[in-house]
A and B are shown apart, each in its own frame.
Chain A
Amino acid sequence: MSHLGIPVEKWVGKVQEVKLGGNGRKSVVVGGESTLPFLHFEGSIPNRPAIAVEVQDKEPTDWPLQLLSAWGDVVKEPVSWARKAVEYGADIIVLRLRSAHPEQGNSGAKEAEQVVAEILSAIDIPLIILGTDVVEKDNEVLLAASEIARGQRVALGNCIDKNYRAIAASCLANGHVAVAKTPNDVNLAKQLNILLHEVGLPLNSVLHDPTTGSLGYGLEYTYSVIERLKLACLTGDEMTVTPIICTIGEESWRQKESRATEGIPPSWGAHEERAITWESLTAITLITAGSNVVVLRHPRTVELIKHVLEEGKRH
Chain B
Amino acid sequence: MTGIEIYKYLPKTNCKKCGFPTCLAFAMKVAQKQVDISLCPELSEESRRIIEAASRPPIKLISIGKHRKIEIGNETVLFRHEKTFYHQPGLVVRIRDTQQLDDVISLVKGISDYSIERVGLKLSLNGFALENESRNADDFTKLAEMVSSNTDLPLVLMSSEPTVMKSALGKIAQDRPLIYAADKDNWREMTQLALNYQCPLTVFEPQGLSQLAELVELVSQRGVEDIILDPGIPCSSNSVDTLTQLRRMAIKSSYKSLGYPIITFPGSAASLKEEAMLAALHITKYAGIIVLDHFSPGTIYPLLTLRLNIYTDPQKPIQVTAGVYPINDPQETSPLAVTTDFSLTYFSIAGELQSSAFPCWLLVCDTGGLSVLTAWAAGKFTAARIAKTIKQFDIANNINHRSIIIPGYVAVIKGELEEELPGWKIMVGPREAMDIGNYLKWKWQAEVSH
How many residue-residue contacts, CB under 8 A, span A and B? 164
Which residues B292-346 have CB closer than 8 A to chain A? Answer: 296-303, 305-306, 309-310, 312, 314, 344
With both chains docked as a complex, state the minimum distance between the C-beta of A47 and any C-beta of chain B, in angstroms: 15
Residues 1-45 of A, flagged 1 when their CB comes within 8 A of B and 0 if not, give 101111100000000000000000000000000001111110000
B314 CB contacts on chain A under 8 angstroms: 220-221, 224
Nearest residue (CB) in B for A271 is B298
A254 CB contacts on chain B under 8 angstroms: 432
B433 CB contacts on chain A under 8 angstroms: 256
Are B309 and A219 in touch, CB under 8 angstroms? yes
Q: Complex formed: what's the CA distance from A304 to B274 in Å?
A: 7
Of the listed stretches A71-79, A89-97, A116-124, A281-289, name the one at the interface; the rest are far from the partner chain.
Answer: A281-289
Are B298 and A6 in touch, CB under 8 angstroms? no
Which residues A266-315 have CB closer than 8 A to chain B? Answer: 266-274, 276-278, 280-281, 284-285, 288-289, 304-305, 307-309, 311-312, 314-315
Whether A277 contacts B273 in the complex (CB less than 8 A), given A6-B248, A215-B305, A256-B433, comes out as yes
User: Does any Cβ of B come within 8 Å of A228's Cβ?
Assistant: yes
Name B238's contact: one of A6, A38, A259, A276 (CB within 8 Å): A38
Are B309 and A220 in touch, CB under 8 angstroms? yes
User: Does any Cβ of B come within 8 Å of A88's Cβ?
Assistant: no
User: Does any Cβ of B come within 8 Å of A244's Cβ?
Assistant: no
A220 CB contacts on chain B under 8 angstroms: 80, 309-310, 312, 314
Q: Complex formed: what's the CA distance from A62 to B255 in Å?
A: 53
Which residues B193-235 have CB closer than 8 A to chain A? Answer: 208-210, 213, 234
Are A260 and B253 in touch, CB under 8 angstroms? no
User: Does any Cβ of B come within 8 Å of A263's Cβ?
Assistant: yes
Whether A7 contacts B249 in the complex (CB less than 8 A), given A39-B244, A220-B80, comes out as yes
Q: Complex formed: what's the CA distance from A221 to B371 in Å?
A: 12
Are A269 and B277 in touch, CB under 8 angstroms? no
B245 CB contacts on chain A under 8 angstroms: 6-7, 41
Of the listed stretches B68-76, B111-119, B151-159, B439-447, name the one at the interface; the rest are far from the partner chain.
Answer: B111-119
With both chains docked as a complex, state the minimum distance between the C-beta of A251 and any C-beta of chain B, in angstroms: 12
Are A312 and B80 in touch, CB under 8 angstroms? no
Name A183's contact: one of B306, B348, B377 (CB within 8 Å): B377
With both chains docked as a complex, state the minimum distance between the C-beta of B131 and any C-beta of chain A, in angstroms: 24
Whether A273 contacts B238 in the complex (CB less than 8 A), given A220-B310, A288-B281, comes out as no
User: Does any Cβ of A come within 8 Å of B284's Cβ?
Assistant: yes
Binding site for B on A (CB under 8 A): 1, 3-7, 36-41, 183-184, 215-221, 223-224, 227-228, 231, 254-257, 259-260, 263, 265-274, 276-278, 280-281, 284-285, 288-289, 304-305, 307-309, 311-312, 314-315
Binding site for A on B (CB under 8 A): 79-81, 114-118, 208-210, 213, 234, 236-238, 240-241, 244-245, 248-249, 252-253, 255, 273-274, 276-278, 280-281, 284-285, 296-303, 305-306, 309-310, 312, 314, 344, 348, 355, 371, 374, 377, 432-434
- Name 10 extra pairs, CB < 8 A, besides A183-B377, A268-B298, A288-B285: A6-B209, A40-B238, A224-B314, A228-B81, A257-B301, A267-B301, A271-B298, A277-B299, A285-B306, A315-B236
